[in-house]
Amino acid sequence: MAEVRIERITLDDVPRVVTAHIDAFPGFFLTTLGPGFLRAFYRAFTDEPTAISLKASSPEHPLLGFVVGTVEPDGFFKRLLKRRWWEFGTHAAMASLKNPAYTSRLLRAVAYRGGPDRPEGFALLSSIAVLPAAQGKGVGKALVSEWKRLAVENGSPGYYLTTDAVGNDPVNHFYQSLGLKLTSSYTTKEGRVMNLYSQKLSQ
């Protein structure tokens, strides 16, 4: 593979990020809400000072993968709901027509900050995906490495993330290979068992 560049995600990149999300997470709740919701969600990571949003690209491929998160989970998601309530409200209304339970679940998804035992003051790595053709070539590790560097630069003592505990061995092994430690496991209201990983970062 040609040289991989790690750069900030811009608004122009959002449509590709949405497509990559849909391909990486088929059947996941946020994916079922459609491209419109995902565009609003990922746009928020491009204009928020506490967000760290990165893409991997090469001369042949404008997007090989992406990673997004924030060094201030509580403040980020509060501002997200305050600034984009009309967009998410529209998607909540459309989703509730399909299933009334979607409304409360959508609000929980948008306000997501990690599991109940998340480390206080740590940055949140919210979402990461690598295109199938680029997997196994170090793209994911390069994205996380630069993301961690910027988290430290922004004063974070560590970071955390969550992922499915069941039927998700390759992803769990990937996070463990990065030095993340399993902090806890918990079950969501929908019965989904999640693993919470965290890692301290050198300042």
Domains of the chain with CATH codes: 5-200 (3.40.630.30)
Q: Taking 60 as the threshold, does the pLDDT of residue 115 lie above it?
A: yes
List, in order, residues 6 or more apart from 200 with CB less than 8 Å away. 157, 158
Task: For residue 185, name the pLDDT band (cuts at 50, 70, 90).
Answer: very high
Four-point Cα dihedral 48, 52, 53, 57, nearest 10? 140
Task: Return the structure tokens found at 68.
Answer: 């997004």
> What is the rounded CA–CA span in Å between residue 60 and residue 66?
16
Q: Taking 80 as the threshold, does the pLDDT of residue 7 lie above it?
A: yes
- How much of the chain, in percent, has pLDDT values that exceed 70? 83
Element (H, E) at 88: helix 85-98
Buried b (16+ CB within 10 A) or exposed e, 99-119: eeebbebbeebbeebbbeebb
Comparing C-alpha atoms, which of 113, 101, 123 is closest to residue 180? 123
Identify the three-state secondary structure at position 76: helix
**Mean pLDDT to the nearest integer, 1-25:** 92
pLDDT of 33: 78
What are the distances in angstroms from CA 25 to CA 29, 66, 75, 182? 9, 13, 26, 22
pLDDT of 76: 81
pLDDT of 159: 97
Query: What is the value of pTM for the model shown?
Result: 0.86
Q: Concatenate the DSSP letters of all residues of 188-201 into one string.
A: -TTS-EEEEEEEE-
Task: Return the structure tokens found at 151.
Answer: 């988290």
Q: Taking 90 as the threshold, does the pLDDT of residue 203 lie above it?
A: no
Q: What is the mean pLDDT of the chain?
A: 86
Task: For residue 91, name the pLDDT band (cuts at 50, 70, 90).
Answer: low
* Residue range 39-84, pLDDT digits in tens: 888 998 998 899 999 999 999 899 999 999 999 988 887 777 677 6
> What is the rounded CA–CA span in Å between residue 10 and residue 35?
17
> What is the rounded CA–CA span in Å between residue 99 and residue 72?
32
Identify the three-state secondary structure at position 182: strand
Q: Taking 90 as the threshold, does the pLDDT of residue 157 lie above it?
A: yes
